[in-house]
Amino acid sequence: MEAYLDNSATTKVYDEVLDIMNKCMAEDFGNPSSLHHKGIIAEQYIKEAKSAIAKSMKVNEKEIIFTSGGTESNNMALIGAVMANRRNKNHIITTSIEHKSVGAVAGFLEDMGFEVTYLDVDNLGYISLEQLKNAIKDTTILVSVMYVNNEIGAVEPIEEIGKLIKSINPDILFHVDAIQAFGKYRIYPKKLNIDMMSVSGHKIHGPKGSGFLYVNEKVKIKPIIYGGGQQSGMRSGTENVPAIAGLGVAVEKTYTDFDEKQKRMYELKEYFTDEITKLDGVYVNGAKGRESAPHIVSVSFENVRSSNLLNALSEKGIYVSSGSACTSNEHKQKYSATLTGIGVRRDLLESTVRFSFSEDTTKEEIDYALDVIRETVPIQRRFTRK
């Protein structure tokens, strides 16, 4: 048996996504910039995907820019926005627990002369609205806060953050990395005062290398890729029609029977959390239950190295992550900024595993994983002890 519990790293594509991508590559393979019939058919796939995505968020189709995924969307949002709106302003606010596709960009902008404020989080991973309020300056251009943390599933108070920012200065731009939130919550950017929002396709059963950036039509950003002027000049390069078509289908399917899917994921998560914490020396990090995202559980195992546990589980067909799978091993910092930020004990920082579910996850997979963990953890502890 196998148990794939690493859905925050990537998800299996829907069958319908695979079908439409195959059709785009094998039959309707025209360049969407071409004026002939094949090109027109290819362009229609893009229009249909854009319509489906815009409908899911109740926004305008022209506010969707297709990208290669979450990292590019985050780069485009931060770099594009500050370059277009800096004038006499040079201040950016973000959090200490952002994904590296925001954190590394913030570091790049600091090197470029921008001032960056990093907000702290409490032991559940939530930012302080008071600290955010005090951090905003006359020179603030942009605030970037992730919706759901990719390691512990903390859900930031996005609606309250948006209201606060706009009450102080409506011109300050609010960017949200929704890569782990889109498809797990209904998100309506205009209601939440979100100016820009990043989404990745392969987190919602779409293809890798697909994603989009929502940009409110009133917001000015500069492109970070120049060339042939595709997508109204905002993201040059021939559009990846198969990936875009697949992304559109994934968004539609993700939000079909959505409430039932979300409820089921929460039930599985709560069951898993209740069972895993019955083991001695096992702790769940961050908020539990409905206070956190429905699909992420961060678990620390006392006296067990996460890398060893991950390998032992993998040998039994159980696939999990020791942290964010989006960071290459060569560039991994020693300890997770998220885990240190929420105050996880130092001896547990290298003993933490992320389990993440999807609408495909079954109770049988959960039970199998729990059985193997109950058997494996005591063995691992014997190896770890001196």
φ, ψ of residue 309 to 5 degrees: the values are: -65, -40
Q: Tell me if residue 379 falls in helix, strand or coil.
A: helix
Q: What is the pLDDT of residue 328?
A: 42
Q: Which pLDDT belongs to residue 266?
A: 97
d(CA 164, CA 203) in angstroms, rounded, equals: 29
Measure CA 44 to chain center. Answer: 28
Tokens matching residue 213 = 């950036």
Strand order in the sheet with 91-95: 64-67, 211-215, 196-200, 173-177, 140-146, 91-95, 115-119
For the beta sheet containing 296-301, the strands, ordered from the edge strand earlier in sequence to the opposite edge, are 282-285, 296-301, 352-356
Q: Say if 3-11+257-384 and 15-254 have the same CATH topology.
A: no
Residues 6+ away with beta carbon under 8 Å from 23 = none
Scanning the chain, the segments in alpha helix (DSSP H) are 15-26, 37-57, 70-85, 100-111, 129-135, 158-168, 241-254, 258-276, 306-315, 337-341, 363-384
Q: Which residues are catalytic?
A: 326
84: which residues sit within 8 A by CB, 6+ positions away?
Answer: 220, 221, 222
Phi, psi (5° rounding) for residue 191? -70, -30
pLDDT reported for residue 327: 46
Residues composing the chain: 386
Domain ranges of the chain: 3-11+257-384, 15-254
Q: What is the pTM of this model?
A: 0.94
If phi over 0 gives left and psi between -120 and 50 gives alpha, with beta otherwise, what is residue 89? beta
**Predicted local distance difference test score (pLDDT) of residue 385:** 57
What are the phi and psi torsion angles at 188 (to 5°)? -120, 95
Q: Tell me whether strands 3-4 and 140-146 are parallel, antiparallel or unpaired.
A: unpaired
Nearest-angstrom CA–CA distance, 377 and 365:
18
Instruction: Give the pLDDT confidence score for residue 322 in this predicted structure.
Output: 85
pLDDT of residue 147: 98
Whether the CB-CB separation of 333 and 288 falls below 8 Å is answered with: no
> What distance lies between CA 242 and its chain's CA centroid?
22
Tens digits of pLDDT across the chain (386 residues): 999 999 999 999 999 999 999 999 999 999 999 999 999 999 999 999 999 999 999 999 999 999 999 999 999 999 999 999 998 899 999 999 999 999 999 999 999 999 999 999 999 999 999 999 999 999 999 999 999 999 999 999 999 999 999 999 999 999 999 999 999 999 999 999 999 999 999 999 999 999 999 999 999 999 999 999 999 999 999 999 999 999 999 999 999 999 999 999 999 999 999 999 999 999 999 998 899 999 999 999 999 999 999 999 999 999 999 864 444 454 445 688 999 999 999 999 999 999 999 999 999 999 999 999 999 999 998 876 54
Quote the pLDDT of residue 323.
61
CATH fold of the domain at 15-254: Aspartate Aminotransferase; domain 2 (3.40.640)
pLDDT at 32: 94
Give the fold, CATH level 3, of 3-11+257-384: Aspartate Aminotransferase, domain 1 (3.90.1150)
